[in-house]
Amino acid sequence: MAQLLMHHAQGDTFSTGPNGFTIDFVNVGNAGNSSDLGAGGGIYSTAFGAVNYEYRIGVTEISQEMIAKATNSGLANVTAGEWTGGQPAAGATWYEAAQFVNWLNTSTGHHQAYQLNSNLTGLTLWNSADAWQAGGENRFRHKDAFYILPSENEWYKAAYHQNDGVTDNYWDFAGGSNTLPTAVMNGAVENSAVYKSRSWANNPAFVAAPANVGESGGFSPYGTQGQNGNVWEWQESAFDGSNDVGSEGRTVRGGYYGGTSVALRSSSLGRTNFGPATHSNTIGFRVASVVPEPSAVGLLAAVSAFLMSRRRRSSGIVS
């Protein structure tokens, strides 16, 4: 908790009453940073991580409980369900993850991010006039979306950038270190991750399931948790970076609970891809967000306070 407070996490609240839930975000600053190609102080690097704008990213992966509460509040056709409760919402296809993000937008009065077909099996590209342009044209994402799936550059920066004010410094692992994270089953110990240690390879209990999203290992320098291990995470980006064919393979990064340390690295060995219709109990996702305009920050705070007040009253607690 001390690490999280240090990074000034901001909670956005969705829905009300028993189906209300909060997603905590941290700001990712140092806009205009260089990519990690040949940079940093570690031995692993790839040409990702350059982002020329400030943004926010979820502290944790999205949990199954969040999917269930959103479904009770109007989200449609997102199954996930490989795990339960506070465990990550694995089993969601890329399209379903995008549908959840669209619901976050439309339920809070923002523009949907992705043009999905009705049965969540296809994506229509936005035209250039409507497409996201910051950092280069991205026809998957609408320019007015507020909540988004993180692009590979956005995800990579939040995981591996050193957050030290120097734009080309990166770590090899998402725990803010060039040293291999300690393998754990759960918790938030500094520079730890939920994955299969080679020395524990014969321990089936350790590799059986991911941890709850708030117990998914140590924090990155920006304040995210579980970007190494627990479950692979969908990136918004196509594996070839083009984002010009709706059905092309999407990047996943970060490794998973049953994998070894190879997939935790910031190297090319730490990324792979799957078709966007893939269901897997090893793949989940987290969400990102634009930074609210200064005039909107107070409104968001007021709305969150109102929703929290409603939740307290519905519980019989009067403040």
DSSP 16-41: -GGG-EEEEEEEE--TT---STT-SS
Quickly state the pLDDT bin for 208 (edges 50, 70, 90). Answer: confident
Per the confidence metrics, is the pTM higher than 0.85? yes
Q: Give the domain range for residue 33.
A: 2-314
Give the mean model confidence (pLDDT) for residues 241-251: 97
pLDDT tens-place string over residues 53-63: 999 999 999 99
Quickly state the pLDDT bin for 145 (edges 50, 70, 90). Answer: very high
Quickly state the pLDDT bin for 27 (edges 50, 70, 90). Answer: very high
Give the mean model confidence (pLDDT) for residues 130-134: 97
Q: Which of 314, 264, 283 is nearest to 93 (CA)?
A: 283
Quickly state the pLDDT bin for 269 (edges 50, 70, 90). Answer: confident
Q: Is 168 exposed, middle or buried (0-12, 13-18, 19+ CB in 10 A)?
A: middle
Look at the chain and report how many structural domains it folds into. Answer: 1
pLDDT of residue 46: 86
pLDDT above 70: residue 245:
yes
DSSP letter at 164 equals S
Higher pLDDT, 39 or 316: 39
Q: Is residue 171 part of a domain?
A: yes
CATH code, 41 = 3.90.1580.10
pLDDT above 70: residue 311:
no
Q: Is residue 160 part of a domain?
A: yes
Please give the share of the chain, as a percent, with pLDDT higher than 90: 77
pLDDT of residue 200: 54
Q: Is residue 319 part of a domain?
A: no
Q: Is residue 6 part of a domain?
A: yes
